[in-house]
A = this chain, B = another copy of it.
């Protein structure tokens, strides 16, 4: 894994840990990141957000995929609720977290000379859906464990 890729992974991993810690009082423990051409993340609820450089020369996308249990654990802690299934509030909270994680990571990336503007997050709900980023370049995947279950962040650039 080259140095730039390692730096990018670090920025996103730090952002996940910070945002979930601060916003949802949730400890997210990063696992080993991996790079794969034909990766897909599977789960029950995902946030996805695009970003692009102001010149349009570089662009990317980030997704954040949870099992239902992990999403409910994180969001209930964030909102002080006891939701037992995914509803509009859970979806909005996942959208907010997606936005904040990407925003904080973009701030980190700007420190290493990569400047991007973010788009509007979308949230996908559906038991056992999969997400595939359509890019010829590699996809960086960073798995995390929380007390209520796993989540995975995927990032790709072109």
Using a CB–CB cutoff of 8 Å, the interface residues on chain A facing chain B are 38, 46-56, 59-61, 63, 88, 91-92, 95-96, 98-99, 117-135, 156-158
A128 & B126 in contact (Cβ 8 Å cutoff): yes
Instruction: Kindly provide the distance from the CB of A65 to the nearest chain B CB, expressed in whole angstroms.
Output: 10
A118 & B50 in contact (Cβ 8 Å cutoff): yes
**Chain copies in complex:** 2
18 further interface pairs, Cβ-Cβ under 8 Å (given A46-B124, A52-B118): A48-B124, A50-B50, A50-B119, A56-B118, A59-B117, A61-B120, A61-B121, A61-B122, A91-B134, A95-B132, A119-B119, A120-B133, A120-B156, A120-B157, A120-B158, A124-B129, A125-B132, A126-B127
Residues of chain B within 8 A of A54, CB atoms compared = 54-56, 117
Interface of A is mostly: strand
Instruction: Kindly provide the distance from the CB of A83 to the nearest chain B CB, expressed in whole angstroms.
Output: 16
Q: If A50-B49, A124-B124, A130-B126 touch, does A56 touch B119 (CB 8 Å cutoff)?
A: no
